Amino acid sequence: MRISVIGAGGWGTALATILSHNSYNVTLWCYEKKTYEEILAFHENKQYLPGVTIPLNIDVTLDLQKAIEENSIIILSIPVQFLSSILSKIEKFNYQNKIFCNTAKGIEVEKIKLPHQLLIFHLKDIKSDSIVTLSGPSHAEEAARHKPTNVVSSSPSLKNAKLIQKIFSNSFFHAEISNDIIGVELGAALKNVIAIGVGICDGLNYGDNTKAGLLIKGLNEISKIGIKLGAKRNTFYGLSGLGDLMVTCYSRHSRNRYVGEQLGLGKSLKEIVSSMKMIAEGVASTQAALKMIEKYKINSVLIKELYLVLFDSRKPEIAISNILNS
| Closest alpha carbon to 248 in 221, 214, 287 | 214
SS3 state at 312: coil
Q: 140 CB contacts (<8 Å, ≥6 apart)? A: 9, 10, 11, 13, 14, 48, 49
Q: 124 CB contacts (<8 Å, ≥6 apart)? A: 91
Number of H helices, E strands in the chain: 15, 10
Q: Using CA atoms, how far apart are residues 323 and 306, in angstroms rounded to an integer?
A: 9
Q: Using CA atoms, how far apart are residues 290 and 302, in angstroms rounded to an integer?
A: 10
Q: Provide the residue count of the chain.
A: 326
The answer to whether residue 191 is catalytic is: yes
Separation in Å, CA 133 to CA 178, 215, 221, 303? 10, 24, 22, 24
Half-sphere exposure of residue 165: CA atoms within 13 angstroms, side-chain side: 17
Scanning 175-234, the segments in alpha helix (DSSP H) are: 181-203, 208-228
Q: Report, in this order, helix, strand and coil percent for the chain, each rounded to 5.
A: 55, 15, 30
Q: Using CA atoms, how far apart are residues 245 and 191, in angstroms rounded to an integer?
A: 5
Among 105, 191, 211, 304, the active-site one is: 191
Q: Which residues are catalytic?
A: 191
